[in-house]
Structure 1
Amino acid sequence: MDNQLRDLVELLSTIHLFDSLNEEQLLFIADRLSTQLFRENEVVFEAGSQADGFYIISSGRVKILHGNSDKGHEISTYQRGDFFGEEGFVANQPRKVTAVAASNIVLYHLPSDQIDAIIHEFPEIVSPMRLALDSFGLFIKHKFNWRAPRESIQFIARKHVVFLFIKLILPLLISMVTLAFSGVIFFTSENKSTFLDLIFFINIFLVIVWLIWLIIDWTNDFSIISNRRAISLEKVALFYEKRQEAPLEAITSVETKTDQLGRILGYGNIIIRTFTGNLIFKNLAHPDLVVRLINEERSRSKVLSKKSQRNSKEDAIRERLGYSKRNEDPFDETIQNMNSDAPSSVKSGFLTEWLSSLFRLRSEENGVITYRTHWFILLRKIGLPSAVFVFLFLSFLLNVAGIFTPLPLGQYIILILFISLGVFFWWLYQYIDWRNDRYIVTHDQVIDIYKKPLGEEQKRSAPLKNIQTVEFERLGLIGLLLNFGTVYIRIGDTTFTFDYIYNPSAAQSEIFDRYREFNQKQIEKEQERQKQEMADWIEIYHQVVKNGGTPPTPPSFEGFSGYNIEEKN
């Protein structure tokens, strides 16, 4: 087996579609793959065209767009080891997205007719392919604006459909009873009235609304795996929203938990363990396949490309020994333009954005991000003293008008001034108390500060590198409408809470991005240190070989002494 074929088989073994196959079976698939090269910005396929198979990326990056290549917007970016073009699993299906080369790329193409032959030979890959196809169908129907630049969604699923039916059982039973009861009254009553008509149709309306609400509630919960993190999204329409996530680097183990009914129907829980807590994907179909996919992404996130490492080492050695640079391969993914794409931004309505800027709920200076609690919390704090101010002002007007005169006007004004002064200090205390609570994210730390006016100050900090999980919650209709909630950051045995901050989803993404940037810089520093250390060894080796193994002559002190030095002076 030559090196190129060995690399291809190794690449196939890391893809969850084929990771259950042995080497001989992978060779069977490899023989049916064709290699295709595309230059940067070339179109691989357009939305609406006929699908002729799917693609595996050998090197480079591919952008997936909604719409055509001219006006479409990017929804994902894939890189080495990823596959795309899932529509090609089934022959003669129209493409639903457009694929464009984001850099010079090398692809392996598996035609649709060959897929049928492979499925016939290895039926065990049918379930992973169905899982991938279902995930692709969900992915293209939803926008995930929290996705970071170059973050690709590898898997997305809802709870098993049986749990939708379980949700619907209770309202269906109640509706059957109530509709039967109201129907009997409606159709058997001799004295029909508008009231009975109204009760009957309101009953039908409420049942329909309840069923629709439960269906929407089921569709709002997602379990997601990207190339950077595992994410659980839960949302109860109008009441609650939560996103919990764990970086792939923080995951220690992944396991499944099923009961007897789950094993029969093919669903179960997936428990993702980190050093300090668990992230649970609840009631997913094919839990064993999802675990394989998570482990695939974990392995890929921890292991750098062998080719990239080799090129980096070769560059360091050539530079140290004074040789010319290596000839660059235009399809080598290690030399592609790695500038980050412009991050997507999510904005609330004009009024909430304007109020956020007015109260400086989020500010950034020299790379240090500061969050403050939402202005709604400020209104809640100053609400009572403000109401007292209004009451005092109204009572003053009533006194002037002669409607309310407990005291003569002059004495009443003095009384109101004294009371207003106390209320003002009360109002000011509440404002400063709100203003003093700050949550800070630097390039290497998270800090939360709680400070009482004229009282104690509590300041906690922890390094970004120790983050285990980041999640947020938006509770209640007010929190959803005004877009505020709490971000929970698990660091070691401690949980940092950014309470009632504006746009917690964006804050969670920013914290996660800072965590990733910090870790990436640390990895790059360590790689550079190892590279230079290795180059030192090579340089020493090169010098020893150049000298033929003869050690350099040590300096001689013959002919020198203290007397000689004095004589020369």
Structure 2
Amino acid sequence: MNRDPAIAAQDASADVIIAQLNFLADLEYEDLVQIFAQSAQTITVPPRRTLFEQDAPVDSVYILLEGAVWQERIDTPPGQRPVRRLVRETRTPGTLLGIYDLLFAPAYRTRARTMQSCTLLRIDATALNRLIYRFPQVRQHLAPMKVISRLRTIPMLGRLEPVALGFLADAFGDTLTFAAGQDIYTLNEVEDRIFFIDQGQVRVDLADGPHWLGNGAAFGLLAHSGARTTRAMDHSAHAECNTTVFAIDHTLFVSITGLNPEQRAAEEMQRREQTIDNLVVFQRLSKDQRRRLTGFMSHYYFPANHHLIQQGEEADSLWVLLDGGHAAIHALDGHGNKMLTTITTGVTYFGETALLGQMPQDSSIEAQAGSEWLRLHWTDFRQFVDDEPGNLRRDIEVRTKRQAVVASEQQRQKYAWLQPGELLILLSRRHWIAFLRKGIPAFILFAVLLAIAIFGASIPGYQLWIAIPAGVLAIIALLAFIWGAIDYFNDWVVVTNRRVVHQEKVLFVNEWRKEAPLEQIQDVSFRTTFLGRWLNYGTMIIQTASTSGVISFDYTQHFDQLDNVIKQQRELRQRHSAAQSKLVIHRRLEERLGLNLELPSRVYRGGVKRAEVKPTGWQKRMQRRSANRYRRTEGNTIVWRKHWMVLWPQLWLPFVWLIAVFVITVFLVAGASLVPPNLRFATEVIVIISILVTIAALARVLWVWANWRNDRYEVSDTEIVHVEKLPLALAEQRSVAGLGRIQNVEMSIPTPLHWLFNYGNVRCQTAAEYGDFIFYGVYDPRSVAAEIQLRMERYRRREEEKSARDRARELPDWFEVYNNLDTDEFASLMSGSARRASMRAPGN
């Protein structure tokens, strides 16, 4: 600690420190008093005095109360003269000086001098170390650790020492946010800052055309010199989606880092684009498309080893290792034994199947320290595909043993219920015997038509009385055949990488679909008959934990194939869950060891600027209005109301009464002059009764309508809810079922009337003690069932991660104790060996 006699010092109490570091107010006051006892002083320092020297041991941390402090660093490149760089000029009261040196280095990395007379609070480094030891969470308050962690992964900044990253984090301050379509700066605009993309996409229009930048890229650097203190931009920058960036003064950045940002940014952009140009997977894309695709990629630098892909998990991204970097490939064999680790060098790529769908990976990939990577998340790739004309999925070169899955993915328009990332593995229709059964009416008509034709041929001449009925019969037979064929092809069982789906559909009449997640399937069985054994068909039965959770599909063909695919996909889902658990444990250990990194996985996060697609045709416009009427979003909860058609069974009688009363009233009013005097009293009684009936009917209508308005179905991130509430708050019943209890989901559109107005029922089958949970009469039951399935999938993922976190919570403690015990035992063995050696030495 500096003992300069010109510096006036006065002991400071813990209350003074708490007043400056207000986050300490939440900690135990007695502990703080003990920690800071005789460890802090309020000092007054004259101008141009040194607070601490570069490379001196860290003994104190300072809090500026008044004045200004100059921090600089002197670097001496090999064979060159020393370079003096301004790191920070501090005038803000409350600023901590020397805190990054305390956290990240054993010695001060800068020299601090007062620019004018200053008042500071000086705290012993040992006291702050005790504070950090006692309350580890204070690190997040002493320094912007999340920002520093993010800066460590930005390629231009990642190789800087942590103290420099801390100064950069202070200079960056809060991130800036730009909306989709917003100009960040325009051509010839004066812009003194440079920018680093935290998350989002920016288009820069350079002299050679537009370039797209994603997460981790730098921009605002290519500029021609204007006035001595200004920079006029020679290009424009434009946010393509909602984008957050770090911004810093160009001069200050160069002073802190000593880097040439213009040269580094140009090299990084060229490196990314050339890498994408040379990847085999994108060779069939045009050069402009590859340049556009680069903007959908995140660019990372890994300062330490980092796990990217876990064997068995469904990878969500393509990972590209850039030149000069290294990666380790790990794998377990079928018996769970570790295989030989392979080290590979860039340029290479992994997880390319994620661009087609989420498929299990065969190996684990670990980025080695100092390597740089590009990451293309599958949702960003889908955004790129949607923005470009044509079907670019077919233009990427991906070799996979699941190529049939890739082809099925292109049918997403046909199977609209597929969730994002879900792949159609196998589709199975009924045996041809079922096709013949559905075509029996047509075959009978064709037989009758043949008999008529034979009969007509036996009669000489053209017989009109036979030709006309035969023609009508032929049309009916053809329509019956087409109907049977469509009915046959509308019934199927689909196995995806997440669930089994069974659909039964009669065109224009009804539709029924039942779904079971792969994790909930307990047994798959097959029953057949004597004829079925000969013709290879039977009934497949899929049993879940729910008492009514049975999917039965008769006339099943190729049962062995279906059974194998279902079991294989179920096993892959289990492996995926296990792999996700390992990743969570890995991340937990990284957090404990201080190795966790802030890595935004996606570039696009909403706010895509594109023309709104308005529905065309009266049917689509009606559907859109109906969807807004029957469905609304309240935070993370979606609320549905029953379709208005469910009111008719309760309202038809009141409406009949109202119509009858109206007709009677019109009759009485029109014929009032014709009513004899002796019947006028009876007429008045009829009018009074009609009024009372009308009031009762209207009251019934209002009651039913209010009751319909009060009933609602809800699905949130954790549960489904049915609320039944009588008008006037007379009674309310709320039924709740957790998403984790749902075994399978069934959707039905039972009648042609339901099909015409697009409403039906959704049945959520739960465990036996809970029974079934039914959404009656909801609009667009297909989308309701799809939303519930999506929420169930997300809930299961969260529960898997939570379970893994719970299992991992105590692992770091176990490893720490084990390491300590192992070290102590090793030291004991070494000391024992030394004693024995000394005893055997000559002279003992």
What corresponds to 2:814 in structure 1? 537
Pick aligned residue for 2:782 from 499, 502, 505: 505
Matches of residues 373-452 of structure 1 in structure 2 within 5 Å?
373-402=642-671, 407=680, 414-450=688-724
What corresponds to 2:276 in structure 1? none
**Residues 90-144 of structure 1: CA distance to partner in whole angstroms, max 9, x if unpaired?**
xxxxxxx61648xxxxx6667xxxxxxxxxxxxxxxxxx9xx8699579749611
Of stretches 36-45 and 149-158 in structure 1, the one that deviates more from structure 2 is 36-45
Displacement after TM superposition at 1:531 (Å): 1.9
State the alpha-carbon separation in 1 of the partners of residues 593 and 551 from structure 2: 50
Pick aligned residue for 1:200 from 447, 464, 470: 470
SS of the aligned residue for 1:159 comes to coil
State the alpha-carbon separation in 2 of the partners of residues 39 and 134 from structure 1: 19
Question: Are residue 232 (structure 1) and residue 502 (structure 2) matched?
Answer: yes
What corresponds to 1:285 in structure 2? 557
Distance 1:316 1:99, change over 3 A: farther
Q: Contact 1:254–1:272 (CA<8 Å) still a contact in 2?
A: yes
What corresponds to 2:793 in structure 1? 516
Could you tell me which amino acid in structure 1 is paired with residue 763 of structure 2?
Y
Displacement after TM superposition at 1:545 (Å): 4.4
Matches of residues 104-503 of structure 1 in structure 2 within 5 Å?
136=407, 140=411, 143-181=414-452, 184=455, 188=459, 192=463, 196-276=466-546, 277-304=549-576, 312-322=584-594, 324=595, 337=602, 349-357=620-628, 360-402=629-671, 407=680, 414-450=688-724, 458-493=733-768, 494-503=771-780
Q: Contact 1:269–1:282 (CA<8 Å) still a contact in 2?
A: yes
How large is the RMSD of aligned CA atoms in angstroms? 4.4
What corresponds to 1:15 in structure 2? none
Q: Contact 2:527–2:540 (CA<8 Å) still a contact in 1?
A: yes
Could you tell me which amino acid in structure 1 is paired with residue 551 of structure 2?
L
**Residues 448-474 of structure 1: CA distance to partner in whole angstroms, max 9, x if unpaired?**
344556876554322211111110110
Q: Contact 2:540–2:554 (CA<8 Å) still a contact in 1?
A: yes
Q: Contact 2:749–2:759 (CA<8 Å) still a contact in 1?
A: yes
Displacement after TM superposition at 1:413 (Å): 5.2
Could you tell me which amino acid in structure 2 is paired with residue 386 of structure 1?
F
Structure 2: state its 5+ residue gaps: 1-310, 313-332, 335-345, 364-375, 608-612, 829-844
Distance 1:42 1:188, change over 3 A: closer
State the alpha-carbon separation in 1 of the partners of residues 787 and 764 from structure 2: 12
Displacement after TM superposition at 1:391 (Å): 3.2
Displacement after TM superposition at 1:159 (Å): 1.4
SS of the aligned residue for 1:304 comes to helix
Distance 1:285 1:477, change over 3 A: same
State the alpha-carbon separation in 2 of the partners of residues 252 and 36 from structure 1: 45
Distance 1:40 1:388, change over 3 A: same
Displacement after TM superposition at 1:508 (Å): 0.7
Sequence identity (%): 24
State the alpha-carbon separation in 2 of the partners of residues 346 and 190 from structure 1: 60
State the alpha-carbon separation in 1 of the partners of residues 663 and 596 from structure 2: 83
Could you tell me which amino acid in structure 2 is paired with residue 475 of structure 1?
P
**Residues 138-175 of structure 1: CA distance to partner in whole angstroms, max 9, x if unpaired?**
97496111111111111112112342134334531343
SS of the aligned residue for 2:514 comes to strand
Give the TM-score normalised by structure 1: 0.67
Q: Contact 1:58–1:108 (CA<8 Å) still a contact in 2?
A: no
Q: Contact 1:156–1:222 (CA<8 Å) still a contact in 2?
A: yes
Could you tell me which amino acid in structure 2 is paired with residue 417 of structure 1?
I
Q: Contact 2:588–2:805 (CA<8 Å) still a contact in 1?
A: no
Displacement after TM superposition at 1:502 (Å): 0.6
Could you tell me which amino acid in structure 2 is paired with residue 279 of structure 1?
I
Distance 1:285 1:340, change over 3 A: farther
Q: Contact 2:584–2:805 (CA<8 Å) still a contact in 1?
A: no
State the alpha-carbon separation in 1 of the partners of residues 606 and 565 from structure 2: 26
SS of the aligned residue for 2:809 comes to helix
SS of the aligned residue for 1:98 comes to helix
Could you tell me which amino acid in structure 2 is paired with residue 268 of structure 1?
G
Q: Contact 2:408–2:425 (CA<8 Å) still a contact in 1?
A: no
Could you tell me which amino acid in structure 2 is paired with residue 98 of structure 1?
R
Q: Contact 2:503–2:512 (CA<8 Å) still a contact in 1?
A: yes
Could you tell me which amino acid in structure 2 is paired with residue 418 of structure 1?
L
Of stretches 159-168 and 218-227 in structure 1, the one that deviates more from structure 2 is 159-168
Displacement after TM superposition at 1:280 (Å): 2.3
What corresponds to 2:127 in structure 1? none
Displacement after TM superposition at 1:424 (Å): 1.2
Distance 1:246 1:380, change over 3 A: same
SS of the aligned residue for 1:303 comes to helix
Structure 1: state its 5+ residue gaps: 1-9, 12-21, 24-34, 46-54, 75-96, 102-106, 111-128, 329-333, 552-569
**Residues 504-540 of structure 1: CA distance to partner in whole angstroms, max 9, x if unpaired?**
1111111111222222111111111222211121122
**Residues 74-104 of structure 1: CA distance to partner in whole angstroms, max 9, x if unpaired?**
9xxxxxxxxxxxxxxxxxxxxxx61648xxx
Length, aligned pairs only: 453
Of stretches 145-154 and 388-397 in structure 1, the one that deviates more from structure 2 is 388-397
**Residues 405-446 of structure 1: CA distance to partner in whole angstroms, max 9, x if unpaired?**
675887765443332212111222222343343322232222
Could you tell me which amino acid in structure 1 is paired with residue 789 of structure 2?
F
Matches of residues 67-106 of structure 1 in structure 2 within 5 Å?
70-72=388-390, 98=394, 100=396
Give the TM-score normalised by structure 2: 0.47
Distance 1:109 1:516, change over 3 A: closer
Distance 1:533 1:475, change over 3 A: same
State the alpha-carbon separation in 1 of the partners of residues 698 and 354 from structure 2: 66
Q: Contact 2:519–2:573 (CA<8 Å) still a contact in 1?
A: yes
SS of the aligned residue for 2:810 comes to helix
